[in-house]
């Protein structure tokens, strides 16, 4: 993990607390922008610098057992925001891995990209993305994301 705005106590997430978002982006600046926008929107944010690190955090990396995943050693994640273009694993590939997981498939995944490519957007939406947002993210995007999280809590 590159950084985290939260400590990682070994307890289950309480919905009375702040929603927990995992932000995945290979750019430190973009991770900080997402973190700042969401913390200002009353979210807890953990960041990862690539898809592999995100999968490790979620307990979905190769060789990890799902029974030892999120609930045992990290806070529950309510939403994942991932950049599309990252080395090693694209945001779409990360999305597919999450949606193939029986334990993680219900977590909403938002894909962000600086490139407005309709086929890429359609591929992500058809692959199960909750939303596709264009960079740079704005405060209005944070409000949209917070609405998605609130829907989960009801």
pTM of the complete model: 0.82
Residue 76 is predicted with a pLDDT of 85
pLDDT at 86: 97
Q: Is residue 105 part of a domain?
A: yes
- Spatial contact of 68 and 38, defined as CB atoms under 8 Å apart: no
Residue-number span of the structural domain to which 131 is assigned? 20-153
Residue reference for tokens 């995007």: 141
Question: Is 43 inside a domain boundary?
Answer: yes
14 is a domain residue: no
Please, what is the average pLDDT of the chain? 82
Q: Is residue 104 part of a domain?
A: yes
Question: What are 22-79's pLDDT values in tens digits?
Answer: 999 999 999 999 998 888 777 889 999 999 999 999 999 887 755 444 444 456 899 9
Structural domain includes residue 83: yes
Q: Tell me whether residue 131 is in a domain.
A: yes
Q: Check which CATH number belongs to the domain holding 62 and give it.
A: 3.40.50.2300
Is 86 part of a structural domain of the chain? yes
How deeply is 99 buried, as exposed, middle or buried, from its count of CB atoms within 10 A (0-12, 13-18, 19+)?
A: middle
pLDDT band at 152 (very low <50, low <70, confident <90, very high): low
The total of structural domains in the chain comes to: 1
């Amino acid at each position: 993990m590159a950084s985290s705005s939260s400590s990682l106590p070994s307890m289950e997430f309480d919905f009375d607390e702040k929603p927990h978002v995992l932000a995945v982006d290979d750019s430190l600046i973009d991770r900080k922008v997402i973190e700042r926008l969401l913390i200002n929107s009353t979210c807890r944010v953990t960041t990862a610098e690539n898809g592999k690190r995100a999968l490790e955090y979620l307990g979905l990396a190769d060789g990890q057992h799902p029974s030892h995943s999120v609930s045992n050693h990290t806070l529950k994640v309510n939403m994942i925001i991932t950049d599309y273009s990252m080395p090693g694993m694209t945001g779409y590939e990360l999305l597919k891995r999450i949606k193939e997981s029986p334990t993680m498939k219900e977590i909403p995944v938002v894909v962000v990209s600086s490139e407005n490519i309709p086929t890429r957007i359609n591929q992500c939406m058809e692959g199960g993305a909750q939303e596709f947002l264009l960079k740079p993210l704005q405060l209005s995007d944070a409000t949209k994301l917070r609405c998605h999280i609130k829907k989960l809590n009801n």
